[in-house]
A and B are shown apart, each in its own frame.
Chain A
Amino acid sequence: MAKTLDKVEVLTVGVGWTGGIIAAELAKQGVQVVGLERGKPRSTEDFQHVHDEYRYAIRYELMQDLSRETITFRNHRDERALPMRQLGSFLLGEGLGGAGVHWNGQTWRFLPYDLQIKSKTDEKYGPDKLGADYTLQDWGITYDELEPYFYKFEEMAGISGEDNPNGAPRSKPYPTPPMKETPITQRFKDAANNLDLHPFHIPSGNLSESYENPDGQTVYQCQYCGFCERFGCEYGAKSSPNVTVIPTAQDTGNFELRMHANVTELVYDGGKVTGVKYVDLQTGDEFIQPADVVVLTSYVMNNVRLLLNSGIGRPYDPETGSGVIGKNYCYQILPGANGFFEEEKFNTYMGAGSLGAAIDDYNGDNFDHSDVNFIHGGVATITQTGQRPINNNTVPNGTPNWGQEFKSQSIKYYHRVLSVGAQGASIPHRDNYLSLDPDYKDIFGQPLLRMTYDYTEQDRNLHDYLSEKCAEIVKEMGADTVEPREISDHYSIVPYQTTHNTGGVIMGGDPETSAVNNYLQMWDVDNLFVVGSSAFAHNGGYNPTGTVGALAYRAAEGIMKFREENGQLVTARHSSKKV
């Protein structure tokens, strides 16, 4: 029998960036918040022996324990979905700080075009640019409305950056100056300038100088140690929830953190959510934690799964296009080009997770799409994140991947390859969605989340285009051999791509086609907020977390409003066409 605990005002399911931001913002204003996090506690003290590629980058020490729960995956609806038995394509976070502990820190704002992608695309290119199978939607909020929240996130995290002529307009400069210029970033910028593009430094959550944020938390200066993404920072120099919002919440005395607390279900009475059920993973004890407001901050997979397993919201049906939970799952495509340099060696083993340079000339609607058969684009970057030897063995095409020739070539080119890669936007398609798996269960006997996902024509066309553009830059950088990347026949769950999963509980202006309003409040359940990239109506051409952070600040404001006003915070705009 689950033990029922005393009611709390607000609880978050998961304590990563989103849970931490909600906790800090509410606790600062005197609200009692409980954070339920299923993983371990961890802080800078735990990262003093972290420079171990095998343990952290290959065996994924800081990421989700899949023996308890994973997802199942298939490319198409007519296939049997099978469990993702090992981490690969994306690396799910687990433990205090979530994936914010081991992210790179590249911190972007989605473009004004992104937030109104449907109207702006239709307006400029007509309503049939992609066809009806692409379930493109506006986000129910404009960039101007969201701008202050972007800054809140950047100011809290101390982001180091500089002006980007093709980026979203800013009301204030970045809180800290950009990261260092290196021969590699300089080489990219020179080439981009020669091609009449507009290069700039990647906005970075690895800070260029020590910074005290408005909450009094200090993030230290990055040392370019080369063990950043997939690792925790041994200096507290990578902005993470653990060195910012979590201590801020704790300092108020209004935040109670419960670790090893795995939420299995939301308690739903058909009108509102009265609390959650969770299991203490160390004792096996079950609890019901009642709350006035429940905030799902457990990343895309669990945000969607907990709703479906608790019977909340209308599940998406790809056959009819009706329903919303699980709809518009998007990911990312990774066009790019490798350049091999015969005469030069670069210090590629040094670096930081967000050290690099970028161009936005091929992102969003920054170029005309009238004559191409796709929309959107992506940021193209060169990064210097610290290449470690197990994971980095790039060899020219046609080289075998073992044996003497492989050994020689992989050693020869280890410091002689520079790549330019793009983060291609991912446009929703009716066949790409999330649902419950009919067969596979987690350790508690609850259905796993099932992902049905494959590349679309839009993805392939955009991929070809961006790979070619990246190749032009690499060539201009002076590479002796340039090899553009090709997209695989189907999306594969095996090789790492990005942990930029989005959608499933999308925001919008119309409850028929979206799950949450622009405060990330569920249309169907007033006291339930679902926060994270699950709210993205499509995935833009950048890493997601700058936008996720902005939405979390917006949601925190919504929760404060809800405590005063109750009910829905936004008036629904019903489309004439019911689906």
Chain B
Amino acid sequence: MAENEERSTMSRRRFLKNSSYVAGGAIGGGFLGTFLGRDLLRGTQQNSNGENSVNDFNRALMHFTRQSDFELLSAAVERIFPADDNGPGAIELGVPFFIDHQLAGSYGHNDREYMQGPFYPGSDFQGYQTRLKRHEVFDVGIKGIEEESRKEFDSSFTGLEGDQQDQILQKFQDNDVALKGVTSSTFFELLRSATLEGAYSDPLYGGNGNMKGWLMKEFPGSYMSYIEEIEEEEFINKEPQPLRAHIVSE
């Protein structure tokens, strides 16, 4: 059947094309050290802070209207995922920009989620029940963090010591702070999971800067095939590949 044949030829052609991704991949450790200091992709540049960044132009705000709110967000996510001996923290990875950009889109606006009323608080087992959309939850939550800091320590959150910031965040996680329209633990859980998403998603979303999140975790990103390696006894540490590598110029 003609249609059938065409489909399988296409698949075979694609298979061959795709198999070119299989090549490479060194065995053994050492990529973290080797790659943290340099750019992994064509077209990357060093910015003025000496950080590697794929593109500086999208490092601007889509959701937040005040830079002070964005700075508070940055300080909070850095406590959730701090820079340490393992490597960069949330700020260097670009997590605050990731979150800001996500809040401006379908994630922030709960586009593919059921948002019809009536709204009731619900039990711990019934999930997200606020009428606020995520972008509103973040606004309320960030305002709440600032108020709580002033109440507790008489200082702006960004001016606190790390362990003081942790105390505030812990109160949010424990649901010990009253917010308008949403529980503080719901907000904290969104903040926590968005931080990890920003650290480890494909760099196309603006986080995981220069794939350093993946390098730390020794996750190689997007490879098309491991059929030649899956039986290996040794752990294989591969140079990470972003989705951008899948845009093939023909």
A contact set with B: CB distance below 8 Å: 44-45, 48-49, 51-54, 58-60, 65-67, 69-70, 73-75, 79-80, 82-86, 88, 180-183, 216-218, 220-227, 234-236, 247, 251, 345-347, 349-351, 355, 388-390, 393, 401-404, 407-408, 411, 414-415, 439-441, 490-494
Contact = CB atoms under 8 A, between A and B. Distances in A.
A337 to B, nearest CB: 22
B176 interface: no
A362 B76 CA distance: 47
Shortest 6 CB-CB contacts between residues of A and residues of B: A51-B222, A54-B201, A223-B225, A345-B235, A350-B226, A389-B200
A388 B222 CA distance: 10
Contact of A493 (B18, B126, B236): B126
Interface in B36-95: 79-82, 84-86
B227 A224 contact: yes
Contacts of A492: 124-125, 127
Contacts of B129: 82, 85
Nearest to A384: B230
A346 B216 contact: no
Contacts of B84: 404, 407-408
B120 A415 contact: no
A122 B249 CA distance: 66
A74 B213 contact: no
B166 A83 contact: no
B111 interface: yes
Given A53-B200, A66-B114, A389-B219, 9 more contacts: A51-B221, A60-B112, A82-B127, A85-B110, A85-B114, A85-B115, A235-B14, A235-B15, A490-B125
Interface string B107-132: 10011111110101011111111000
B146 interface: no
B231 A182 contact: yes
B239 to A, nearest CB: 13
B82 A404 contact: yes
B155 interface: no
B161 interface: no
Nearest to B221: A51
A68 to B, nearest CB: 8
A411 B87 CA distance: 10
30 contacts: A51-B222, A52-B201, A53-B200, A54-B202, A65-B112, A70-B114, A82-B127, A85-B115, A86-B114, A180-B227, A181-B231, A216-B4, A220-B15, A234-B14, A234-B224, A235-B14, A235-B15, A235-B18, A247-B4, A345-B235, A347-B230, A347-B236, A349-B219, A389-B213, A389-B214, A402-B79, A403-B166, A407-B86, A490-B123, A492-B124
Nearest to B22: A223
Contacts, number: 190
- The CB with the most chain A CB atoms within 10 A, among B7, B18, B82, B230, is that of B230
Contacts of A224: 225-227, 230
B3 interface: yes
B205 interface: yes
Contacts of A390: 196-197, 200-201
B11 interface: yes
A210 to B, nearest CB: 10
A187 B189 CA distance: 36
Contact of B14 (A48, A218, A351): A48
A53 B208 CA distance: 13
A52 B245 CA distance: 12
Interface in B174-228: 192, 195-197, 200-202, 204-205, 213-214, 216-227
Contacts of B7: 247
Contacts of B169: 402
Contacts of B122: 82
B232 interface: yes
B229 interface: yes
Contacts of A493: 125-127
B224 A53 contact: no
A408 B86 contact: yes
B26 interface: no
A403 B114 contact: no
A550 B204 CA distance: 42
B6 to A, nearest CB: 11
Contacts of A80: 120
Contacts of B18: 234-235
Contacts of B222: 51-52, 227
B127 A88 contact: yes
Most chain B beta-carbon contacts within 10 A, residue among A60, A66, A83, A439: A83
A28 to B, nearest CB: 13
B11 A44 contact: yes
B107 to A, nearest CB: 7
Contacts of A70: 114
A48 B246 contact: yes
- Of A70, A75, A236, A251, most buried by chain B (CB within 10 Å of CB) is A236
A224 B18 CA distance: 13
Contacts of A217: 4
B218 A415 contact: yes
B233 interface: yes
Contacts of B82: 403-404, 407
A51 B200 CA distance: 13
Contacts of A52: 201-202, 204, 222, 243
A225 B15 contact: no
A225 B224 contact: yes
Contacts of A236: 11
B116 A441 contact: yes
A346 to B, nearest CB: 7
A449 B170 CA distance: 37
Nearest to B200: A389
A393 B235 contact: no
B34 to A, nearest CB: 17
Nearest to B191: A402
Contact of A180 (B106, B217, B218, B230): B230
A347 B25 CA distance: 13
Contact of B243 (A49, A401, A439): A49
Contacts of B4: 216-217, 247, 251
B163 to A, nearest CB: 10
B229 A350 contact: yes
B20 interface: no
B128 A86 contact: yes
Contacts of B233: 183
A446 to B, nearest CB: 13
Given A67-B115, A85-B113, A251-B3, A414 B126 contact: no
A66 B112 contact: yes
B215 to A, nearest CB: 11
Contacts of A227: 222
Contacts of A389: 200, 213-214, 217, 219
B219 A225 contact: no
Contacts of A66: 112-114
B126 A74 contact: yes
A348 B217 CA distance: 12
Contact of A223 (B1, B201, B227): B227
